[in-house]
Structure 1
Amino acid sequence: MTDTLALLKHRRSVPPQFLAAPGPSEAQLAELLAIAARVPDHGKLVPWRFIVFAGEGKVKAAERVAEVFRKRTPDAPEDKVTFERNRLLHAPLVVAVVSRARKHEKIPVWEQELSAGATCFNLLIAAEAMGFAGSWLTNWFSFDREVLRAFGVAEEERIAGFVHIGTPQTRPADRERPDMAAIVSHFGA
């Protein structure tokens, strides 16, 4: 229990450019995804799924991002195109969590979307517990339908986040945290 509390208290996102190999092995990845899927899921709808970007698949995805970026911003300098391409290339592993929230007679879409968000965070926590680090990010291409179609994301699906996972090369200093007195209230007090 103490280890879990310490992990939660000290976990810090590490930007993808500071994540290097080794990344999770195939067995570790399978375990990470199984843990990520253990989130509240009212109605057992499984309103999310995973797309794994690793190896050559990650390189192809990065090229697609660069192509669409170049198409959307034809005047962009080559270093900016390279920057956009590299968004998916820094960490050895990137997992897209795809929200499959849909209208349901009992379970609101918002609740399903929250479940997808919980999946992203469970994935980060599990990676940290395995000795890796990560970042949960969205970028412009998380919302670009042309890129999403290329990644196999259906029109009714959305990206909850791209979770970048690898071995941390550095740990950022902790950031300022919220003033608890400003965000906690007690009903009836």
Structure 2
Amino acid sequence: MSKHHHTALETLLSRASADTLVKPAPKGEELEAILSTAMRAPDHGKLRPWRMALVRGEARLALAERVVASMKRLDPNVPEQKIEKRRTRFSTMPLTIVLGMHLRPEDKIPLLEQQLAVGAAAMNILNALHAEGYGGLWVSGDIAYDPELATELGFPPPHALAGFIFVGTPEKDRETPKRRSVAPYVADWTGAPVSFEADKQ
């Protein structure tokens, strides 16, 4: 195995979600290169269903208020503490990528495969952020399934949101969380239905 491939594999194995993010976030050509990794995602039918709306600067405050309105619409009794937590996160993240799904229900490619392609694109972006020294956190929650919020952000039905990717620089160096063994999630198929140790716990 070449040194280059070893380094690339170690980068992938060391990625973890970064919850506390500060400036700077990538911009310019660096950001374009990171986002371009989405174009390498597996994509049955070449539909390219991923869409990425970038929220920066003063627009963060407007997004935060749309998110809060969505929360109250979905649950009139939502706790104020939860509201303030989300308002703060969405208004202060250096960069938020609104991850949209441009879906084609009438296409021969099943909707699930279109959605999976968006997920694969998001994972490429998260890996690229990590490789370039940044942090990323993919969040969803009830608001990601609110069609009214999706429409306000540019994704009216049948299109939808796949969540939000918070982007920035990890506030402090932290140890990579211990990686669980993959063994319980792998089995050899030899003709009979497989079973997994992970499902026996």
TM-score by length of 2: 0.82
- For 1:98, give the aligned amino acid: G
1:160 and 2:162 matched? yes
Q: Distance in 2 between matches of 1:155 and 1:98?
A: 11
Structure 1, unaligned stretches of length 5 or more?
none
**SS of residue matched to 1:49:** strand
Find 2:151's aligned residue among 123, 144, 149: 149
Q: Distance in 2 between matches of 1:4 and 1:163?
A: 22
Q: Distance in 2 between matches of 1:71 and 1:105?
A: 32
Structure 2, unaligned stretches of length 5 or more?
192-201
Number of matched pairs: 187
Higher RCO, Cα 8 Å, sep 6+: 1
Rate the CA distance shift 1:181–1:31 in 2: closer, same or farther, 3 A: closer
The one-character-per-residue Cα deviations of 1:53-106 (angstroms, maximum 9, x if unpaired) are 111122211111123334555555644332121231342011122112323554
Are 2:60 and 2:92, in contact at CA under 8 Å, matched by a contact in 1?
Answer: no
| Percent of residue pairs identical | 33
**Cα offset, 1:145, TM superposition:** 2.1
Q: Distance in 2 between matches of 1:182 and 1:77?
A: 39
- The farther-off stretch of 75-84 and 159-168 is 75-84
Q: What is residue 111 of structure 1 aligned with on the other side? A: 113
After superposition, the CA RMSD in angstroms is: 2.2
TM-score by length of 1: 0.87
- For 1:137, give the aligned amino acid: V
The residue correspondences of 1:10-29 to structure 2 (distance < 5 A) are 10-15=14-19, 18-29=20-31
**Cα offset, 1:146, TM superposition:** 2.3
- For 2:99, give the aligned amino acid: V
**Cα offset, 1:46, TM superposition:** 1.0
